[in-house]
Amino acid sequence: MIERFEMHPGSSARHVIGVMSGKGGVGKSSVTALTAVALARRGYRVGVLDADVTGPSMPRMFGVTGADVPPVGREGRPADEILPAVTRRLGIKVVSINLLLDDESAPVIWRGPLLMGMIRRFWIASNWGDLDYIVIDLPPGTSDIPLSVMQSVPLDGLIVVTSPQRVAAMVVAKAVNMARMLERPVIGLVENMSYVQCPDCGRKMEVFGPSTGEAQAAELGVSYIGDMPIDPRLSELADAGRVEDYDHPMLDALAEAVERATVQAQ
């Protein structure tokens, strides 16, 4: 029997959005972070759940550490409660295993059952307070953790991230088909690393070949949200823990796609 995870009694979230990809290395975590930033800029209360347990990156991108997590076991709080770190600029709440480790570079060498147990704990023990959106950064592929989240967490929709290469198109189809098999709606497709824009002349150079994102979305029968460039500025800000400072028209496209799938669908 499939277990449905219940949220912490002190938490509520109007909507839960997952971000997934068929394969690693396509910028799924960047799209997760930017989706959260885009929604927070529109005045929504937003949390980010870093479910990519073996490759967590949300704390580094948002510039939060374990020192930003309020201590537990005080003021009547249970010792096993997880409290999010809160970003300084937009107040985005972040839960990640890297906030619980003494050394962020320590590897998480766990088998599937332990990983899924950690995801369960994240969901039932995290005290988010009241949120409008939780955005979940899923690990790449269609293995244990994405399956567990899709079966046990009340997802309102999924954003799927791909890149221009046809090999990415092949595996992203697996992710979309998995979502359909589990009856989880796909909000749309984002093509990341679509091009590099010359800072001097403005010319777009398709370093991974011509864009295939719109064609991929049409083949899969899902909406096309848009394309993201390879942008050194995004890398610079994410490495510095300042992803909230990044701006690009795709942020509006991400927020609008999520709103259409949630707020306007109510």
**164 within 8 A of 47, measured Cβ to Cβ:** no
Assigned domain for 2 exists: no
Domain that holds residue 216: 12-261
As a three-state string, the secondary structure of 18-30 is: EEEECCCCCCHHH
Assigned domain for 7 exists: no
Mean pLDDT of 150-155: 87
Q: For 57-108, write each residue's pLDDT tens digit.
A: 999 999 999 888 876 655 555 667 889 999 999 999 999 988 887 656 655 6
Instruction: Give me the number of domains the chain comprises.
Output: 1
Assigned domain for 204 exists: yes
Q: Check pLDDT > 80 for residue 139.
A: yes
- Predicted local confidence at residue 230, as pLDDT: 93
- Predicted local confidence at residue 200, as pLDDT: 77
Confidence bin at 166 (pLDDT 50/70/90)? confident
Q: Look up the CATH number of the domain holding residue 16.
A: 3.40.50.300
**15 within 8 A of 132, measured Cβ to Cβ:** yes
Assigned domain for 39 exists: yes
* 97, burial (CB in 10 Å: exposed 0-12, middle 13-18, buried 19+): buried
pTM: predicted TM-score of the whole model, two decimal places: 0.91
- Predicted local confidence at residue 1, as pLDDT: 54
Q: For 185-223, write each residue's pLDDT tens digit.
A: 999 999 999 999 888 787 888 888 888 899 999 999 999
Q: Check pLDDT > 80 for residue 245.
A: yes
Assigned domain for 5 exists: no
Q: Which of 128, 101, 146, 103 is nearest to 36 (CA)?
A: 128
Alpha helix segments (H runs only) across the chain: 28-41, 58-62, 112-125, 144-152, 166-181, 213-220, 232-239, 249-261
- Predicted local confidence at residue 10, as pLDDT: 86
Length of the chain: 266
Please state which of the ranges 12-16, 19-23, 86-90 shows the lowest mean pLDDT. Answer: 19-23
Mean pLDDT of the chain: 87
Assigned domain for 158 exists: yes
Q: For 105-119, write each residue's pLDDT tens digit.
A: 655 655 566 777 788
